Amino acid sequence: MPGSPLNVAPAEGHRRRRAKDCPGKDNTKVFLRATSTRNLRGELSFVKTRDLTLGALFIALGVLLPVFFHMVGLGKAFLPMHLPVLLAGFFCGPAVGLSVGAVTPLLSAVTTGMPPLMPPIAQLMVVELAVYGLLTGWLYRRLGWGVYPALLTSMLAGRVAYGLFAYFLMPLVGLQRVPVWAPLAYAVGESLPGVVIQLIAVPLVVGLVERSTSVLFTRAGSPER
């Protein structure tokens, strides 16, 4: 009869015999899980090493590029330090992008004297560029935003952070208080050429690299490599 113990017991016994006759099936599953775990660890290790290596490269570019631009008096107009930091966020993610943005101005100030530590331009740029690197990496790599929305939002947020920090920092070192909106006005004034270059060059570089290889990219909405 359906549902009686006489019908259930043979079925259970049959399943047990099948499992007993195929001991390698469970071993295969364990092996596949272990292999998958090892592969994942290897991929994560590769990503970490790759991002750190690229981060160091972007820091070096952020220190060297301004030297050449300042030699011809174009540093303030073209903002050469900003480009490597923005690219670091897109290519390496928020953590490395933030680190590149924070380290580059200070390292450049110590090694080349630009930007100056007093007045505290280097300190202000640490905040600005750290926001650049953090947000480009977070919005593009983690949230899957497009290049332009992530870039524009990061640039605007970085300028606002610069203005807020300057507003409170300048009086502390005996200098005149800077209006919060001053960096935004500067972006559409003397440094407008640099802003235009960022809006053109960064999406172009990101697009070219993303189309040519997926090794540099692990972002929301894209398959893991």
Q: Which of 105, 88, 87, 84 is nearest to 96 (CA)?
A: 88
Question: Which amino acid appears at position 2 of this protein?
Answer: P
pLDDT at 46 over 90: no
| 150 touches 86 (CB < 8 A) | no
Nearest to 134 by CA among 197, 80, 85, 173: 85
Other beta carbons within 10 Å of 10: 10
**Pick the residue with more confidence: 75 or 29?**
75
Element (H, E) at 222: none
Q: Walk me through the domains of the chain, giving residue ranges and CATH numbers.
A: 58-212 (1.10.1760.20)
* Dihedral angle sign, alpha carbons of residues 190, 192, 193, 198: positive
How much is the pTM?
0.76
Kindly indicate the confidence band of residue 18, based on its pLDDT and cuts at 50, 70 and 90. low
Contact, 85 vs 104, CB < 8 A? yes
pLDDT tens-digit profile of 57-110?
A: 999 999 999 999 988 888 888 999 999 999 999 999 999 999 999 999 999 999
Inter-axis angle of helices 94-112 and 121-136, nearest 10: 160
User: What single letter denotes the amino acid at residue 10?
Assistant: P
Distance CA 106, CA 115 (A): 8
Please tell me the least confidently modeled range out of 16-30, 101-115, 179-193, 199-213: 16-30
How many angstroms separate the Cα of 147 from the Cα of each of 89, 154, 190, 199, 223? 11, 11, 25, 10, 18
**How does residue 35 score in pLDDT terms, banded at 50, 70 and 90?**
very low
The Cα–Cα gap between 156 and 159 comes to: 5
Rg (CA), the chain: 27
Is residue 39 predicted with pLDDT exceeding 70? no
Residue 137 DSSP label: I
